[in-house]
Structure 1
């Protein structure tokens, strides 16, 4: 008898932000992101110095939920999603819990990319999508074992998703994606001709 099993699963969580009854106004969230980006001179300077396309508040604003009520509402919604993800992942949190570590805005213009990376020192990372224009690239996830597949042939084009070396997810506005922070991912070029891709990313830590 042959018995073939899938081992060591990598979980990717996708849901509507409103799945747990979140009261986050999408229009207000989008407008807040744009206003913050326009006013955040320190963030603009950091992006220019680092040749970062578009805008991110990652290196400039560390207290968005305190400054703007819409982000406090957003964090309440994200807390519920992260708790659901932790349960699905069978995390044994003991007496500790997963709490927000940082949250930041991303505005990616046409032609902008965000190269492959992980989120060190965090447990769960994710993004909620505010504006996804037509032509915006899907987020790309990489098999974490890829560096160890030294002599492995590529997978066939129509391989099951769980066996592919790269998986692309095309989110829509209002989606939340969550993954464990060690999972390498990237945002390929925004191919929209004129519209920005707006998202809010975040990390959760265990303490």
Structure 2
């Protein structure tokens, strides 16, 4: 009798963030980007296309109440995902470590990376114009497939080397922080805006 099973699953959580004012969040992102001199200087010095507050601001929920409303919703989603992952948190909890804005203009990319020292990472989507890039997720076993042939184009999703997820405005995506991911080039003439975050075990 033949038995073939899938082992060592990589989970991806996708849901609607919850009730929030999308227009207010979008306006707040632009307002912060306009006033964040340190962030803009960092982006220029590091050849980061567009704007990110990752290296400059750590208090978005304090600055704008809309971000606190977002965090309140994220806390619920992260708790649900942690339960799905069957984490034994040992009477501790996952708490927000940092949250930041990403504004990618036409031609902007965010190269492949992971989020070290965090447990769960994710993004919620504020502005996704037609042609804006999806999120590209990489099979974490890729470096061990040294002599493997490529997969068929119509291979099952769990067997693909890369999976592209095209979220909508208001979606939240969560994954374990070790999962390598990237944002391919924004082919839209308009900005792609997202808010990313990390949760740690405390």
Query: Would you call these one fold, judging by a TM-score over 0.5?
Result: yes
Partner residue in 2 for 1:2: 2
Deviations 1:68-116 (A, max 9, x none): 1111111000000000100111111011100000000000000000000
What residue is the counterpart of 1:95 in the other structure?
91
Match of 1:204 in 2: 199
RMSD: 0.5
User: 1:67 Cα deviation (Å)?
Assistant: 1.2
* CA deviation string 1:57-76 (max 9, x = no partner): 00000011111111111100
Partner of 1:167, secondary structure, is strand
Output the TM-score relative to the length of structure 1.
0.97
Correspondence for 2:25 among 26, 29, 40: 29
Three-state SS of the structure 2 residue aligned to 1:103 is strand
Normalising by structure 2, report the TM-score: 0.99
Return the alpha-carbon distance in structure 2 between the equivalents of residues 168 and 197 of structure 1: 16
5+ residue gaps, structure 1: none
Quick one: distance in 2 between partners of 1:133 and 1:110? 11
What is the number of equivalent residue pairs in this alignment? 202
Which position in structure 2 is the counterpart of 1:81?
77
Q: Which residue of 1 aligns with 2:48?
A: 52
Shift of 1:33: 0.3
